[in-house]
Structure 1
């Protein structure tokens, strides 16, 4: 009895036990946080200006690894050319290259969107000299907004006497002529190598198929020889029969 009373006099633990965490609730909380972040990024992407969209389109042109956040000098020059920022009078290709080298960092090869706007501000002063600084910037923005890289078509072959002479197989001579048949079609290996014809008894014999013609000719001559001999003996009045 004494031992049982002593045990009962111990102070009870008033701290409630922690309930085990629910893994389903934890996953739901993480998913909600991810959804909120993705929706925020989507909202930012949807709020892109037409100028920034054009910047990203030109930034990823020709480069599958590009993210669209930075632009190389080659794409910068293409943008200025395709969007007619370069007019050949106030703004030239040299001006575009100089501005790009001035705006980018010393050790960098690309420019960001903010640096891109700084570069356009520099060019706007030359491109629109008769307007104020703010109006010039807005005008140069209008040239670029909503634009995309121009993809040039397939280059057409130049038609000239020199090209036609080099491609006309009927005018080829020497070993080049042997590589094509009369229609202009290539012979392939037969036109490049000396292939030995092993179809006959003698390899490389060039008069195959003429035996029958020769035999028939010799038989006709043999049949004609007795008549000629008889004609010579009988006189000029004898006619040779065929």
Structure 2
């Protein structure tokens, strides 16, 4: 079968980096799922291409003892060949179809075409339609301890902004005040 070109290998690498992998040459199962969903699933949903790639293709090509597949020209070509062969088995309802059959070649050509045409679908976070986001992060509108939860830029302060640390002194562990003695009587002073 025909080898894949560098553009398709680069697309595989793009999917690797989107899935949180530190190395663009390591495709993990998450990247594999995103690649199948974004590029192949809409065209071959009828044949459950996601299950084919998750159960048959990716496990066969990943490195032994490691959770990833190394992305290079050889493995990408094998990936597309195996995927096309598995889809052809379901499409023709012939589990013994040859790997070099014309139907497999046609499906592989389609997969390559869609890989070149599709880009990773990235969810974009849009500005709120109501415009209330600015109001939620405006520290001048908060009072009391709530205004301490955000810094001047409107970013959260984490635990510092959530916790109310007292002096933790007193005669009972959960009591936060101090006690003072004056002329034999005990006066409790609240902090």
Query: Taking structure 2 as the reference length, what is the TM-score of the superposition?
Result: 0.50
Query: Taking structure 1 as the reference length, what is the TM-score of the superposition?
Result: 0.40
Q: Which is higher, the Rg of structure 1 or of structure 2?
A: 1
Greater strand share, 1 or 2?
2
